[in-house]
Chain A
């Protein structure tokens, strides 16, 4: 079971990407489980993803990086004892710190036969300047980007090329080691590259 995290600040397009990935990967014959973490006890995103016919496990009631981390472990254990998917796509809340989520899972990797795949962090090309200008948000957004193996510049179809270039420069400055690519779930730009990263990348 390979774990791939699709992270990023609130509204960056995580759920839309998760649906697109889930449909493509399951369509290619892989077993996929989607694990959605939401602040609310009653899921919204999980319900939406389920509407697309994908297997969804909801973890509600707080953030898996710090508040309901135990529920993440129990869900992974249930998946390992049940459908044993090829890929588990985790969508944490938009407030989650990706490395903190990874830290929760790492000690369980051996016991649950988990392989750590890439952390893909989305950066909204239309809103990144606004978010990085807020004192209270820039630290979180930057930490999320620093934790990325792949940074996906989301909604590139909706911004001018200059804006996209600015977003790319900001992302590279914050995390020079990450792979940076453009993403549009409307045009499918970036989707094949993300799927290739999910299949190929293994994170120690």
Chain B
């Protein structure tokens, strides 16, 4: 085990971080969900909780060693705001925030960071969990944005001119 920086493959003469997190990948997405009926705050919280649980279970089915974390924020009913997260166990699921008005529309942003499976698999597992909950509760989903995060991608290492230009 070492904490010494290593010379980067770029060969620019600068030391760069030791890449200790190459087995951790991620998937981030933004959605609009439509519920089959108007939901109160408890209904939105139940939906968030179900989603966290289903995604955590799906990534473990896909071979993850550990759920790094799954975090989401939900905006609904005017000022309504929820923050939901889990580290993998059902008992770990936390949902808290500020109440909004009854609504059937929820905007949700999710970051799913998982150990030991590739980013496309995390995407597939995440969507599997989302679809499972939508099907169970009668929601529809619209994906506004999807990003994959691959920890092996180190294309943006700093060079001396980055500091010269400050």
Contact = CB atoms under 8 A, between A and B. Distances in A.
Given A40-B28, A70-B156, A11 B69 contact: yes
Interface in B4-29: 5, 15-21, 23-24, 26, 28
Interface string A100-111: 100110011001
B140 interface: no
Contacts of B113: 10, 39, 93-95
Interface stretch (A21-29, A60-68, A162-170, A182-190): A60-68
Interface in A38-83: 38-45, 47-48, 51, 61-63, 65-70, 73, 77
A162 B92 CA distance: 21
B150 to A, nearest CB: 9
B132 interface: no
A38 B16 CA distance: 20
Given A94-B68, A131-B66, A47 B73 contact: yes
A39 B83 contact: no
Interface in B49-103: 65-66, 68-69, 71-73, 81, 83, 85, 87, 97-98
B158 A73 contact: yes
A2 interface: no
B68 A10 contact: yes
B27 to A, nearest CB: 9
A137 B64 CA distance: 12
Interface string A122-160: 000001001100101101101100110000000000000
B5 A104 contact: no
Contact of A39 (B16, B28, B30, B66): B28
A198 interface: no
B135 interface: no
Contacts of B18: 97, 100, 143
B66 A137 contact: yes
Contact of A100 (B17, B28, B166): B17
A137 B109 CA distance: 26
Contact of B65 (A42, A94, A136): A136
Contacts of A104: 158
A61 B145 CA distance: 13
Interface residues of A, number: 49
Interface residues of B, number: 48
Nearest to B88: A11
A10 B73 contact: no
Contacts of B110: 44
A103 B111 contact: no
B40 interface: no
Contact of B17 (A97, A111, A131): A97
A69 B154 CA distance: 10
B149 interface: yes
A44 B72 contact: yes
A108 B98 contact: no
A66 B71 CA distance: 22
A77 B162 CA distance: 12
A69 B157 contact: yes
18 contacts: A11-B85, A39-B113, A39-B149, A44-B72, A44-B73, A62-B153, A66-B19, A70-B156, A70-B158, A96-B21, A97-B21, A99-B3, A104-B158, A107-B163, A111-B166, A130-B66, A134-B65, A134-B66
Nearest 5 pairs between A and B by C-beta? A40-B28, A100-B17, A95-B21, A10-B68, A11-B87
